[in-house]
Amino acid sequence: MINPIFKNSFVYDYFTAFLKSDKRFPQSIVLEGFDTIFQYFFALELFRILNCLGDKTPNCTCTNCNWVKENRHPAFIQVTPVDFKDDGSKTVISVKQIEKVTSAIFETSDYHRFFIFSNVKTGTIQDKDKNNLLKYSDAGYTTEKEDWLPLPLNKKILQEEASNALLKSTEEAPNKVTFVFLCNNREDIISTIVSRSLLFKTPVENSKSSIDASQFLKDYPNISIKEGINRISSIMNYADENNLDYIDILDSFEENLLNVLKNNFENRQIFNMVNSDIQKIQLAKKQLMATVLPNNVLENLFISISPEGRNL
């Protein structure tokens, strides 16, 4: 039924049980959590199962399941500041859009229709998000456009007037229409919508293993002080561009050195050196958590793991 890539989450357990019952599917759902990509694909997966004409398994190849996986099913409707829109504004979900939704829900349809409300990011997808998307593309799911990513809603995107207009639709929606709201926190959506919806917390993204900062450790263990300090600005750019925490980067450093360690169990001298460098990385993480400036932390780290610095 629900694809196991969504396992280990409350929504997976809840809807696995729910879909076995013959209860009416909820009209309005709020998904709350920091992994918007998970929320988006989970909504798509629920939509797939509700519209499947086959055995409902993740491998089903009925027309609807195929359309869903290619993300071109006409009844899965993304409502964002740029999608499902005729007016010119690009920064909000407008009242006009809500009117369009309202009239759409009363058109007859053979499908169980989903209206997904989110913010949106268009343009180049950053490495961190690409890594997160991989899990879904490996399972055969895709976003509608390659340069399109869902972002969480907030009250600037879905403002009070549009929210109020929508409220009426959520109450009057006919059978087989479901509204889904993607957000980090329920506070980001007007409370009257939240109170009329089923609210679910979704899991946080597990990004740790997906970051590879090994490029910045090139030539380790022979990175000179000068070379190490030269790399700091690239590391900071990399963190900025990919929306990463410096601790994520140090996690990746630690993982890299642990691999070096594993390959050098026989060589006592190298083993001890790498082991001691790992402790320096762990110290650097503590300093970052204690809000020492990242630039200073990285500088100290590169000095302490350089051939010159190790002997200081």
Binding site for Zn ion (CB under 5 A): 52, 54, 60, 62, 65
- Which helix (H) or strand (E) element contains residue 142? none
Smallest gap from Cβ 50 to Zn ion, in A, equals: 10
Q: Are 186 and 199 in contact (CB under 8 A)?
A: yes
Is the Cβ of residue 62 or residue 199 nearer to Zn ion in the bound state? 62
φ, ψ of residue 50 in degrees (nearest 5)? -65, -25
Residue 181 CB neighbours (<10 A): 28
Amino acid found at 117 = F
Smallest gap from Cβ 243 to Zn ion, in A, equals: 35
Smallest gap from Cβ 76 to Zn ion, in A, equals: 14
Is the Cβ of residue 62 or residue 247 nearer to Zn ion in the bound state? 62
Smallest gap from Cβ 112 to Zn ion, in A, equals: 13
Q: What does the alpha-carbon distance between residue 217 and residue 253 come to, in Å, rounded to a whole number? A: 7
Is the Cβ of residue 53 or residue 292 nearer to Zn ion in the bound state? 53
Q: Provide the terminal-to-terminal Cα distance of the chain, rounded to the nearest Å.
A: 60
Q: Are 193 and 166 in contact (CB under 8 A)?
A: yes
DSSP letters of 92-109?
Answer: S--HHHHHHHHHHHTS--
Is the Cβ of residue 60 or residue 167 nearer to Zn ion in the bound state? 60
Smallest gap from Cβ 301 to Zn ion, in A, equals: 52
Is the Cβ of residue 59 or residue 175 nearer to Zn ion in the bound state? 59
Pairing of strands 198-201, 177-183: unpaired
Q: What does the alpha-carbon distance between residue 278 and residue 232 come to, in Å, rounded to a whole number? A: 18
Is the Cβ of residue 117 or residue 136 nearer to Zn ion in the bound state? 136
Q: What does the alpha-carbon distance between residue 36 and residue 151 come to, in Å, rounded to a whole number? A: 6
Closest CA to 117 of 205, 201, 6, 193: 193
Tokens 């907030």 correspond to what residue? 154
Smallest gap from Cβ 47 to Zn ion, in A, equals: 11
Q: Is 56 left (phi over 0), alpha (psi -120 to 50) or beta?
A: left
φ, ψ of residue 299 in degrees (nearest 5)? -60, -50
Is the Cβ of residue 67 or residue 246 nearer to Zn ion in the bound state? 67
Is the Cβ of residue 1 or residue 303 nearer to Zn ion in the bound state? 1
Smallest gap from Cβ 18 to Zn ion, in A, equals: 18
> In this structure, what DSSP letter does residue 262 have?
H
Smallest gap from Cβ 139 to Zn ion, in A, equals: 15
